[in-house]
Structure 1
Amino acid sequence: MAAIARIAHAEAGIVIAPGKTSMVQSRLAKRLRALDLPDYDSYLALVQSDAGRDERRRMISALTTNVSHFFRESHHFETLRNEVLPPLLSKARAGGRVRLWSAGCSNGQEAWSMAMTVLELMPDAANHDLRILATDIDPMVVEKGRSATYDAQMVSGVDTGLRKRFFETAGGQFRLIPAAQALVSFHELNLHAPWPMRAPFDAIFCRNVVIYFDAETQDRLWHRFAEALAPGGWLFVGHSERVPVAPHSRFVTAGITTYRLPPAAEHK
């Protein structure tokens, strides 16, 4: 499985420890069955070939864990509601541009939680230049997020009032209302590859993603996030992740697993 680990690192910066052979085999077994391949050597030959480009993407999807739920790590959404959004929404009302990014959005619950938080404070947000970008390396979870539709179990953690306000129900399924859907766009993106987005973001959520990366890849990603944020921009990371702060980076601590760039006057 060392060759699979090398491909995963080259393609997506993912680190697979040597002792994870059984995990890798179990997660790739479905791919072998789907492709009707007899063994892992045949699968390796495919993903190493030019014809295996699409399968390499599916392999990365199989090796990563897409576990999320609405309003996960609620303290981040309290900070978003109470500190991050008020000045940004004032900016939007005055005609300014506001951009938020859910980087590593998994099945979409994070991005939709961001959208609901925005709509609680600004019901007409879609009428302003305020948008949320949701990205993930896994095309299947991107499509799930784009569908904006979840079963009862997946929305069970959403407050009853929010569920009634922001979801439409049909056949036991819960679908985000059009006002929320108008705010969020979903796209496939490998954080390890070049990013097509050019304009700065005001806040980035990237939680429980960099735990898959080695230290060098993590440091490179923190730097890229700093470059992608506007002065004063916010970065939210997972509960087990830590971002280097000044003087080792431009970020300063702004709360529990919450970081910020200095405002424009201090930005160098």
Structure 2
Amino acid sequence: MATATLSESNSSAPSVGGPLLGDAEFQFMRDFVYQHCGISLGEQKRQLVQGRLLRRLRALGLRDFAAYCELLRREPEGELGELASVISTNVTSFFREMHHYDLLINELLPRWLEEKKHGGRLRIWSAGCSTGEEPYALAMVLAEALERTKSTVDARILATDLSPQALETARAGTYPLERMGGVSEARRNRWFLRGEGSYEGWACVHPRLRELVTIQPLNLLHEWPMRGPFDAIFCRNVVIYFDKPTKQRLFERYAGLVEQGGYLFLGHSESMYGLSDSFELVGRTVYRKRAS
């Protein structure tokens, strides 16, 4: 029986699922992803990357991974969002980590609305908004606070992500009912329009929530067009993909955009310990910007 080995020049060798990802192509992708996304791909991720990118190769009509790498060299920005969608996992839900929303509802939003009632602006950034559940959940509690206090404060939520597919879902604002387990019955009735006919089993966010949320593409490692300041930044389950230097740079950039005394919210498995002196821990993965 003949045997074959995978070498740098053997990236197009046939396999049951399609072409193989060779050493040279995988190393190029590792360097490319780290440079443009800040994500470190270990050797153990090779099979995962190969499997997920095969669908992308077929969609683009490319023969092998060498051709895909050439596309990245030729049009890095044009394909970056699609590549990021492939290698990252967009796992999110409405009102995930409810203690963050409780803090907003019970303490932060009432305080901010009172402080800004004579002309201030309230701004929250959902950085890494994925398919939109997080910013729309934020919009629900914000809209409720505005109604409850009869506030006319200029309040907005910015939602950004690198993935074109995730942003498309977020802009559509339409979700299957089974994805809405974290939304109470009262909020479902208040903030969602239930689908009928061919849209049976789906729900669309209320126009009021769309008014509060601006959705834009953004690479966190590139230039940021917004200048802030933000009262709070939600960057949850995003920095788990980054190495320490990338996290440090990102946290300092956040510090430059957060109001004095403003807040940064991280995911349940994330921490700023030893990474930034600009914030202090004040709750479960809740950080407040220190006084300068």
Band the TM-score falls in, shorter-chain normalisation = over 0.9
2:125 matched to 1:114? no
2:80 matched to 1:56? yes
CA distance in 2, matches of 1:228, 1:56: 25
Does the Cα contact within 8 Å between 1:132 and 1:184 map onto a contact in 2?
Answer: yes
Match of 2:242 in 1: 213
Indicate the SS of the match to 1:94. coil
Gaps of at least 5 residues in structure 2 are 1-25
Indicate the SS of the match to 1:121. helix
Match of 1:155 in 2: 180
Give the length in aligned residue pairs: 262
**Of residues 39, 63, 88 in structure 2, which corresponds to 1:14?**
39
* CA shift for structure 1 position 113: 0.6
Match of 2:194 in 1: 169
* CA shift for structure 1 position 199: 2.2
* CA shift for structure 1 position 162: 0.8
Superposed CA RMSD in Å reads 1.7
Does the Cα contact within 8 Å between 2:96 and 2:182 map onto a contact in 1?
Answer: no
Match of 1:33 in 2: 58
Does the Cα contact within 8 Å between 1:207 and 1:237 map onto a contact in 2?
Answer: yes
CA distance in 2, matches of 1:260, 1:245: 15
CA distance in 1, matches of 2:145, 2:71: 50
Match of 1:188 in 2: 217
Match of 2:29 in 1: 4
**Of residues 59, 73, 95 in structure 2, which corresponds to 1:71?**
95
* CA shift for structure 1 position 180: 1.3
Indicate the SS of the match to 2:55. helix
2:72 matched to 1:47? yes
CA distance in 2, matches of 1:78, 1:197: 27
Deviations 1:134-162 (A, max 9, x none): 00011221121112211111223311111
**Of residues 240, 261, 268 in structure 1, which corresponds to 2:289?**
261
Deviations 1:143-201 (A, max 9, x none): 21112211111223311111111111122221111221110000000001010001200
CA distance in 1, matches of 2:268, 2:204: 28
TM-score normalised to structure 1 length: 0.93
Does the Cα contact within 8 Å between 2:266 and 2:286 map onto a contact in 1?
Answer: yes
Q: Percent identity?
A: 41
Indicate the SS of the match to 1:205. strand
1:161 to 1:26, Cα distance in 2 relative to 1, 3 A: same
Match of 1:252 in 2: 280
1:191 to 1:65, Cα distance in 2 relative to 1, 3 A: same
Does the Cα contact within 8 Å between 1:70 and 1:110 map onto a contact in 2?
Answer: yes
Gaps of at least 5 residues in structure 1 are none
2:225 matched to 1:225? no
Match of 2:162 in 1: 137
TM-score normalised to structure 2 length: 0.85
Structure 1 runs (4+) deviating above 3 angstroms are: 124-128
Indicate the SS of the match to 1:253. strand
Indicate the SS of the match to 1:187. strand
CA distance in 1, matches of 2:274, 2:27: 34
Indicate the SS of the match to 1:132. strand
Amino acid at match of 1:67: V
